[in-house]
Structure 1
């Protein structure tokens, strides 16, 4: 079957001068047999040097009247550039489907004129020495929608103090120089305001890749608002020093930092106030005093040596402009020394107090108290004293200087013994000291109170004194020690016992620390009767009065002991502890026993102890109560009855002898 050649078509087109266009979007290809294009051919009839032309990767400017063969797969790489000037030219295209070429299709490419871009900057104001980015001011437009590719700037201000352009390649562009910057680098173009106020004309223009726009001029004005400094009228005491910096109020509409000040004193009298700086201890009147802002704290005024008023001036400089002079009146006045008083005070011995809480101050002119002095008039070793962080025990007869801000750190400790002393205080208002004010400080202590009620004990009964003793202290001081005294000197009277002395003699002071009170005991006498004993307490400072109490010892009741009649077989043994019955009306335990054998027959019963295996008759056998289990009784060697005896001792008295019969049976 015969092949039908393909058809390719393209319309006429217009491009702005020097603009690029891909050819592929303009082409329409069709083939009745459905064959795809295999290649294309292009032809340019415009032979002028300024006409449009084709571009491919293999040739960046195809000459006119040349057939340009391009594989269909490379069609997207074919570009068309419009001419560099306006005009029209005819171009052709045809396609090949692998068998036949289409007919040539012509189209007209018209290059239209380019409209130059417009770059504009409105008039601007900058504070002296302030930086600004030019791109934030710049307005750009292009009637053809072309992007700017570069800019040029021009500065006509030739003064050394005028504003200037800055770029990374030149930190200070000279005036009357063309400054060319690519559009991509526009963000790196800065302008610095001049170092003094004034105006100058600058220019800008833009390039859109084809044409430069017209120069646009703009006025750059370097501005500065002068600072403002004010100070009110002030009164100072004669001879008083004040820092001027505390009086000044400064402001700057541009927020510029103040760099220096000038002062002027119009008071020419020898007794008038004057300025002082570290470089001049007495500035003459009608002299300009230049001071850097950093040194403002070192500018002082001293009040005049006589009363009166004078006018002084101050102005400030912000690095560019001086403020107006501001006048103020300084009046030197008479100073009234301050008054500091402390009323007479009492403190407990060894107690700490802050004098600040006692102190009352006043100043007739309302001056602030700047410091105080204290004085201690008593040199006694036990007297009260002042304490500060720099000295924990100020010696008497020493002036103690304390700034008002440190008054809270001053303490007094009450004396270690009771007594009174005179102390002093005075205040300073920055100009004069007030008079010394004397106050009496009394160190006080209330002696403790201790009491023991009258008590009754059985003979030889023990009692712990801690259970009887009651102590109190009105100041809340703890008791540190006690003393006891025994007024009973009889040999059989009651007495005190401690771990260091098991029998304290009468009429002897017995001193015991409070922590050892539980170690003090009293023992009832060994015979009935009463005696006076005493106690007193110590609170670390004072002893209480002696408190007397009666200790009554009840008469002792002799114990009772018995053994029932016993029957034993011949030579039978019996342990006496199982047979003895003991009682004591006072509850005293037996301390010892005595036994007696009333039968002297050789074959009668008898007593046995570990100390003697056969106690003879009619012998007192002494046995400690703890050894009662060691006493045995043996039946006789022959039958019969013996009389035996027992008695007991309670530590004070013996019981009566108790007789019991021992019968020996077969």
Structure 2
């Protein structure tokens, strides 16, 4: 019966490395019998030499026979020495009947290749994060995986960058930060809060040795925002919203958080900035405005023509950009023009002034106000009327908001006359010139009231309102009537009103148009004829008396 044969070729491992024994063993048996058990022997007696490990002993001493069932061969490991050197080891197998010969091999511990961890120089935007694992490179000549990393930060400034890990949100400078390779993805570096550079270090551990420290520079960078306004011109007293002029660019796409403005124009009549907190910012004053309030910043053209330099700059939450200067030129404002053509009115006729008025502004400014003036001083001349004053006196400046122009009326005089009136407009900056226009009031035509001859029976009544005919060439309504009874006989007819049941003859009877239906005519108590009269008043003139005959019959 043939004994089994085991062989192991000479082997080497870097220091402190592990190797499963089984892949190195070659086994054969001429009878085809499988191995039942193995024995191992370590001839290296140095404290730093390699050794054998099994699940029953994690460091078998040298010079000891180690028995291992074949079924447990996969639990046998070989650990290289902690220093370089060579030693002899043995192995043999039993097929259950006989042990084979010991097979020796030389096991050499070689120098461990030091791991190399490196990070290239980094530029990181201020106050932003960089995941270290995305920029770290690791290599080792013998293929060992990294087990741990160490980091070091030399930036001691209060605004410098720093490392972050789940166990410490802000590692102090000059501190060794140790991180398992499994936790590398949780290591971050935070850029400084101001633009600056600092040196940091990293090194790796492969389970045997720490590699050398590798230094790298972290530059905290920020692209300053660029705010710019082109040169502009404004007419005197005109407003512009600064937001419509401003452009801003930030190379890092940071949100602009603030703006500053500066006005160098010191003249009392120069342009100026306006904000809700200050309606007239003094020159040579820094004006801070949050980005959210930029739409509320206005600039007004000066009260006089001229040029001045103004500045703007922006803040991106990290740095102020450079001041950008721009020139603002105040140009002459063109005064508005308001005109009214000459017009003719009938006596006491009303006209709405807005229908007569034409206004324009060469600069396209909106008319904000009008002024009116009446040069007619006669008591019966035409006049202006507004809701605030129904009869404006002559030689008085009348201020009217443009929005109220439709509420301005002009009334013709109560007698034929011609007079001069004036109008001018205001565009928010300048008053235009006065424009004169002539208002001619035509003479009034007295109204005509008449009653046809009437026949009534003795003591018969007739309602006078049904008998009156009225006309006025100027279309003025009657404002009053008068009646007169020329019959002086005791039995003659007469007028009746609610205030007097028998008006005496030869008496003027005044009656308003509203009461005309309450005037009655009574036939005489005896037959006969008499003359009666009527006339009307149109608010300006009385018409002529109209005579008509009342005949009383049986």
TM-score by length of 1: 0.58
Whether the 8 Å CA contact 2:21–2:78 is kept in 1: the answer is no
Give the structure 2 partner of residue 610 of structure 1.
387
Do structure 1's residue 451 and structure 2's residue 218 form an aligned pair? no
Greater shift in the superposed pair: 297-306 or 468-477: 297-306
Structure 1 residues 228 and 450: alpha-carbon distance in aligned structure 2, compared to 1, 3 A threshold: farther
Whether the 8 Å CA contact 1:272–1:304 is kept in 2: the answer is yes
Whether the 8 Å CA contact 1:452–1:547 is kept in 2: the answer is yes
Structure 1 residues 557 and 270: alpha-carbon distance in aligned structure 2, compared to 1, 3 A threshold: closer
- Which deviations, in whole Å up to 9, do the C-alpha atoms of 1:236-270 show, x marking residues without a partner? 345x2424358546889999999975432123455
Greater shift in the superposed pair: 613-622 or 402-411: 402-411
Give the structure 2 partner of residue 561 of structure 1.
338
Give the structure 2 partner of residue 571 of structure 1.
348
Q: Please, what is the CA RMSD of the aligned residues?
A: 3.9
Give the structure 2 partner of residue 539 of structure 1.
316
3-state DSSP class of the match of 2:308? Answer: strand
3-state DSSP class of the match of 2:60? Answer: coil
Do structure 1's residue 437 and structure 2's residue 214 form an aligned pair? yes
Give the structure 1 partner of residue 202 of structure 2.
425
Whether the 8 Å CA contact 1:526–1:556 is kept in 2: the answer is no
Structure 1 residues 597 and 250: alpha-carbon distance in aligned structure 2, compared to 1, 3 A threshold: farther
Whether the 8 Å CA contact 1:373–1:427 is kept in 2: the answer is yes
Give the structure 1 partner of residue 369 of structure 2.
592
- Which deviations, in whole Å up to 9, do the C-alpha atoms of 1:623-646 show, x marking residues without a partner? 111111121111111111122222
The structural deviation recorded for 1:619 is 1.5
- Which deviations, in whole Å up to 9, do the C-alpha atoms of 1:510-547 show, x marking residues without a partner? 34444554444333233322222211122332211000
Whether the 8 Å CA contact 1:274–1:285 is kept in 2: the answer is yes
What are structure 1's unaligned runs of at least 5 residues? 1-197, 199-224
Give the structure 1 partner of residue 360 of structure 2.
583
Structure 1 residues 272 and 592: alpha-carbon distance in aligned structure 2, compared to 1, 3 A threshold: closer
- Which deviations, in whole Å up to 9, do the C-alpha atoms of 1:319-346 show, x marking residues without a partner? 9998876543211334464454445443
Residues in 1 aligned to 2:22 and 2:312: alpha-carbon distance in whole angstroms: 70
Residues in 1 aligned to 2:430 and 2:80: alpha-carbon distance in whole angstroms: 102
Residues in 2 aligned to 1:267 and 1:416: alpha-carbon distance in whole angstroms: 59
Do structure 1's residue 399 and structure 2's residue 176 form an aligned pair? yes
The structural deviation recorded for 1:573 is 0.9
3-state DSSP class of the match of 1:601? Answer: coil
3-state DSSP class of the match of 1:604? Answer: coil
Residues in 2 aligned to 1:440 and 1:379: alpha-carbon distance in whole angstroms: 14
Do structure 1's residue 463 and structure 2's residue 237 form an aligned pair? no
Structure 1 residues 572 and 523: alpha-carbon distance in aligned structure 2, compared to 1, 3 A threshold: same
3-state DSSP class of the match of 1:329? Answer: strand
3-state DSSP class of the match of 1:535? Answer: strand
Do structure 1's residue 624 and structure 2's residue 401 form an aligned pair? yes
Residues in 1 aligned to 2:217 and 2:319: alpha-carbon distance in whole angstroms: 22
Whether the 8 Å CA contact 2:119–2:214 is kept in 1: the answer is yes
Do structure 1's residue 313 and structure 2's residue 90 form an aligned pair? yes
Greater shift in the superposed pair: 350-359 or 621-630: 350-359
Map 1:53-452 to 2 at 5 A.
232-238=9-15, 240-245=16-21, 248=24, 262-269=39-46, 272-277=49-54, 279-280=56-57, 282-291=59-68, 299-304=76-81, 307-314=84-91, 327-335=104-112, 337-356=114-133, 359=136, 369-388=146-165, 393-404=170-181, 407=184, 410-452=187-229
Give the structure 1 partner of residue 272 of structure 2.
495
3-state DSSP class of the match of 1:626? Answer: helix
Structure 1 residues 269 and 629: alpha-carbon distance in aligned structure 2, compared to 1, 3 A threshold: closer
3-state DSSP class of the match of 1:375? Answer: strand
3-state DSSP class of the match of 1:562? Answer: strand
Whether the 8 Å CA contact 1:243–1:298 is kept in 2: the answer is no
The structural deviation recorded for 1:388 is 4.6
Residues in 2 aligned to 1:388 and 1:252: alpha-carbon distance in whole angstroms: 55
* Bigger CA radius of gyration: 1
- Which deviations, in whole Å up to 9, do the C-alpha atoms of 1:443-464 show, x marking residues without a partner? 1222122221101122333333
Structure 1 residues 300 and 227: alpha-carbon distance in aligned structure 2, compared to 1, 3 A threshold: same
- Which deviations, in whole Å up to 9, do the C-alpha atoms of 1:202-228 show, x marking residues without a partner? xxxxxxxxxxxxxxxxxxxxxxx9999
Residues in 2 aligned to 1:631 and 1:258: alpha-carbon distance in whole angstroms: 125
Give the structure 2 partner of residue 89 of structure 1.
none
3-state DSSP class of the match of 2:388? Answer: coil
Structure 1 residues 311 and 648: alpha-carbon distance in aligned structure 2, compared to 1, 3 A threshold: same
3-state DSSP class of the match of 2:210? Answer: coil
